[in-house]
Structure 1
Amino acid sequence: MGDLAHGVALVRAFAEVCKPFPFQFAFKLQYRDLDTFIHKAMRGRDDVKYIKRFSETRLTRKQFDSLVAEIRANGFLCLSTPFDEPSVAVIEDQGLDAIKIASCSMSDWPLLERVVQTQRPLIASTAGATLEEIDRLVSFLTHRQKNFAIMHCVGEYPTPDAHMHLSQIDFLQRRYPGVHVGFSTHEDPDSTDIVQMALAKGARVFEKHVGLPTAQYPLNAYSASPQQVQRWLEAAQRALLLCGEGVQRQPANPVERASLRSLQRGIFARRSIAAGETVHAEDVYFAFPPQDGQYTANDWSKYATFTAQTAVAADAALTPHNTSQRDMRAKVWEIVQRVRAQLAASHVVVPARVDLEISHHYGLERFDEAGLTMLTVVNRSYCKKLLMLLPGQHHPEQHHRQKEETFHVLHGEMTLSLNGVERPCRPGDVVTIEPGVRHAFYSAGGVIIEELSSTHISDDSFYTDEAVNANRDRKTLLSYWMD
């Protein structure tokens, strides 16, 4: 209001409100070099709303310095919205923490060019902006490697509910992945549900107009009093509590896990099992309720091997005391890590979200010796795959009765055997394998092969070793392995 004492009182009042909350707070000022900002022919015009307002609330540089010092003394960060280039120099001279770009300035390119010369984080509001204008601003700041956030904002004071459009937060996050998205709020100050919805949608930077009502300075319709801000922050804190973890899978809840385990089926011996025996599916059954500490049906999978450590009577529960469990899923993850490393080293680019197929012809425990990883890029009347052997692997001999395929070596070297005749293959080599031709391959250092073929038919692979044909669990498919 152009009253330094009132500004100091306002900062101190909100410092008391903010202290109990675990958020990072900042006060934002607005800077205009009024002697150059307002056209000389328009100075003193009380009939023009904003000229009158800007003139009446003028502060000197010394007063702004005092206000900045008070803001910092009360534990706040301090930032400012500059509306002209001289004001950016003031921000730099004062060492403020960040710069706000007002909605009306987000396409003010002379000002933006000056702002990006600073090293401050930037926060830009988007009220009234077209999609093209936002695209240009985000591109401009991104190409200059700026640390910035964009704010969904409605330039209507106060904003009616029908014009709030909170789903623009979702839209901005989808359109600009990796960019911080916030919300500049102008709602009714008594509202507390809007901040909760914005937080639930992922906004984490908020701008809110505040005021300290006095007999001389009553509040306007969109500025919140200290009491209203306290309720607003309490609502925000509850929303964050309810939203909880969203970056990764939520932490384990022991009460929840115990409750769910009590509803699982336990593993019981169908017959007497001697110590040292490997337990197979036909040796067990699953029944409710589970006993304390018992293995359950959720522990049983094609990756898990159970071995009796002591004799297990018929109908007895399988537990860690009488049966050991070996879970090979850790081996699958280790294979994924090695595949990622080999792709990175080769600079071979693969499509996003392509499934990874792991072939473990003799079981996962022998994968390092015999196996293959494969990415199917397309499978129509034609087919394209990427085949990978990790260092030291060989692919057992097989043939196809219908499919013709061509191998194009992209990275690494291998030895290819065709009907028992071996030949070396290096990057750039192309070999066509006709139906009926037996083929096997080995790589000492690892290899990546592009396979082009007629359509892939799932039951058209015939291995010379019948042990491979008999292994019905020789493939593992993974959809989420690239991230």
Structure 2
Amino acid sequence: MKPFTFENLFVLDLANNHQGELEHGLSVIEKHGEVVKKHGVRAGLKFQFRQLDTFIHPDFKERKDINHIPRFVETALSLDDYEELVDAVHRQGMVSICTPFDEESVDIILEMGIEVIKVASCSASDWPLLRKIAQTNRPVIISTGGLSMSKIDRLVSYFEYEKAHFALMHCVALYPTPPEKTELNQIDLLKNRFPSLTIGFSTHEHPDNLVNVGIAYGKGARIFERHVGFETDRHKLNKYSSTPEQVDRWITAWQQAQAICGGDYRVPADPAETASLRSLMRGVYARQNISAGETIEQGQVFFAMPLQEGQLTSGDFVGGITAARDYQAGVPLDGSLANLEPRDQDRIFQIMLQVKGILNQARIFIGRESAIEISHHYGLEHFREFGAVIITCINRSYCKKLIVMLPRQKHPYHFHKKKEETFQLLWGDVEIELAGKRTKLEPGDIFTVLGGEWHKFHTLDGCVFEEVSTTHFDNDSFYEDERIAKLPREQRKTQLDNWESVTRDVIRTR
């Protein structure tokens, strides 16, 4: 069974907006279920469970002057009513979610088959309750309103220790939340601090506010929660609960934000965008007459608008190309003169650009004194299929390296006679095969390879892992493929002085 995904989940909080009436609660579920179906989004309907006989001290149950207690008592439903409401949620194709405020309610959630547990901000430091929730083996969503970062760190550490499947919600527990108190930059903070977790936004702003959901999505929130209900002659909503019509507009605003933000990865430019850019580019024109077979240097051409159809662009010009035909002064050079076959220097530059991008994304920084080696077992032209970039940080009686692999890259079977090495995955994904057995590492996992053990590895989306080993010796890698074994080391390894030298050399030769 696939694990529950929190991505792009809408949480519609019923809370006490059922008004203590089963039929009204069923109507709320039905009306909001129609909105969810209209937009085709994933949504859950959330209940709140409090076992009032024990949740409220007996001496205070009849008090009208204490905040919340009268409303909890007046709107109480039976467990049979809640079972009927849960069934209605499932009939609408929504996920059932519940916030328990006491341990007994956690047991009831499990008995009713409710799928997701929500931790309210007021319970996010209630450790007897948190311990009970963490051990349920249910997906958990945790709101963080009012918590210090040290308390959030403790929460995350504990739920990770319990191996719970959970997400965090930025939340401001002001009802309603004024715009200047919304603090949406906290979404950035939580995403950067906990990159492996889904981060959401539990909102209490005025229901007509359609700005916050778009900003929150743009900042990376992927769960969106708000209180829901509807009004009748007898029942009025509070200032932070949404009617079905307001939820409709809210989801529409989210869909517009999603379309505006686009994909999470870089895609090829739209043809219309490419045409727009080309209309502003410069083409290459002959400055003087050029004869067929003549080598063309930059002094013999000039760059100017417009870029004509089939013309060589200024960005594709490299000095030293050979003219395939005669050119009169002032005429455009053919685009076929572009050297589409990259030189080794260009290949190295492109490799290191991508490596630097991966290191930046992983927030890993290397020292200027580190030695950089491109390992290309079948030549630079096949590097993107087989190879790795190896950055040696230190090599003494112990050795530390960083190994960077590009997406879908493989490192073939080999062993070392002298070296024992331990890998730790820092970022991305990697699968190691040792003596015919495969192990997929998660970030933080450690894997040791002893001398003489055959091993290889590959990645799907790219990775950075650390290698700590005994002293590294050249020519201590022995490959299964005889073609690799027969190549001199200099033909399967490219040593770089440093990153700056690669950049400088490529620029100087263009």
Question: By the TM > 0.5 criterion, same fold?
Answer: yes
User: Which of 174, 193, 198 does residue 211 from structure 2 map onto?
Assistant: 193
> Which SS does the other structure have where 1:53 is aligned?
helix
Q: 1:385 to 1:411 in 2, by over 3 A?
A: closer
Aligned position for 1:127: 145
2:194 equivalent to 1:176: yes
1:11 matched to 2:20: no
CA contact 1:273–1:314 (8 Å) conserved in 2:
no
Of 348, 365, 389 in structure 2, the residue corresponding to residue 332 of structure 1 is 348
Q: State the SS of the aligned residue for 1:290.
A: coil
Is it true that 1:248 corresponds to 2:265 in the alignment? yes
Report SS of the residue matched to 1:326. coil
Residue by residue over 1:188-230, the C-alpha shift from the partner in whole angstroms, topping out at 9 and shown as x without a partner, is 1222222222222222211101111011111112111122222
Structure 2 residue 308 is the aligned partner of structure 1 residue 291: yes
Q: AA paired with 2:306?
A: P
Map Cα deviations across residues 165-194 of structure 1 (whole Å, 9 max, x no partner).
222222222332332221111111222222
C-alpha spacing 1:444/1:257, structure 2 compared with 1 (3 Å): closer
1:203 matched to 2:212? The reply is no
Conserved? CA contact 1:123–1:151, under 8 Å: yes
Match for residue 259 of structure 1 among 252, 276, 294: 276
- Counterpart code for 1:257: T
Does structure 1 conserve the Cα–Cα contact (< 8 Å) formed by 2:283 and 2:307? yes
Deviation at 1:42, TM superposition (A): 3.9
Q: 1:95 is matched with which residue: 105, 110, 113? A: 113
Does the 8 A contact of 1:269 with 1:284 survive in 2?
Answer: yes
Change (3 A) 1:7 1:472: closer
Corresponding residue of 1:443: 489
Distance of 1:88 and 1:377 partners within structure 2: 51
- Hey, what's the Cα distance between the residues in 2 that align with 1:159 and 1:323? 59
**Residues 365 and 161 of structure 1: CA distance in aligned 2, closer, same or farther (over 3 Å):** closer
Decide which moves more: 179-188 or 161-170: 161-170
TM-superposed deviation, 1:92: 2.1
Amino acid at match of 1:289: P
C-alpha separation between the residues in 1 aligned to 2:105 and 2:239? 28
Counterpart position of 2:38: 20
Q: How does 1:42-81 map to 2 (within 5 A)?
A: 42-81=60-99
**Higher gyration radius (CA):** 1
In 1, the alpha carbon distance for the partners of 2:247 and 2:152 equals 30
Alignment check: 8 A CA contact 1:208 1:223 kept? yes
1:352-431 aligned within 5 A: 352=365, 410-414=471-475
In the other structure, the counterpart of 1:85 is 103
Counterpart Cα distance in 1 of 2:241 and 2:113: 27
1:324 Cα offset (Å): 5.6
CA distance in 2, matches of 1:374, 1:313: 50
- The amino acid that maps onto 1:260 is L
Amino acid at match of 1:326: E
1:260-275 maps to which residues of 2 (within 5 A)?
Answer: 260-270=277-287, 271-275=289-293
State how far apart, in whole Å, the 2-side matches of 1:450 and 1:291 are: 39
Say if 1:306 and 1:448 are closer, same or farther in 2 by CA, change over 3 A. closer
Is the 8 Å Cα contact of residues 387 and 449 (structure 1) preserved in structure 2? Answer: no
What's the secondary structure of 1:206's corresponding residue?
strand
Give TM-score, length-normalised by structure 2.
0.66
Distance 2:143 2:230 in 1: 24
Which structure 1 residue ranges, 5 or more long, are not aligned? 344-349, 379-383, 392-408, 415-425, 428-441, 460-470, 478-483
Query: Do 1:309 and 1:323's aligned partners in 2 also have CA atoms closer than 8 Å?
Result: no
Deviation at 1:291, TM superposition (A): 1.1
Change (3 A) 1:71 1:324: same
Q: Secondary structure at the match of 2:96?
A: strand
After TM superposition, the structure 1 stretch with the greater mean CA deviation from structure 2, 284-293 or 99-108, is 284-293
The 3 A distance-change label for structure 1 pair 306 and 31 is farther
Structure 2 residue 334 is the aligned partner of structure 1 residue 319 = yes
Q: CA 1:472/1:136 → structure 2, altered by over 3 Å: closer, same or farther?
A: closer
Q: Point out which structure has higher relative CO (alpha carbons under 8 A, 6+ apart).
A: 2
Contact 2:175 2:239 in 1 (8 A): yes
Letter in 1 for 2:50: R
2: CA distance between counterparts of 1:186 and 1:54?
19
RMSD over aligned CA atoms reads: 4.4
Identity of aligned residues (%): 39
Gaps of 5+ in 2: 1-18, 384-388, 395-399, 405-410, 413-469, 478-487
2:49 and 2:176 mapped to 1: Cα distance? 23
- Check the 8 A contact 1:150/1:179 in 2, yes or no: yes
Deviation at 1:106, TM superposition (A): 0.7
What is the number of equivalent residue pairs in this alignment? 395
Give yes or no for contact 2:316–2:339 (8 Å, CA) kept in 1. Answer: no
2:426 matched residue in structure 1: none
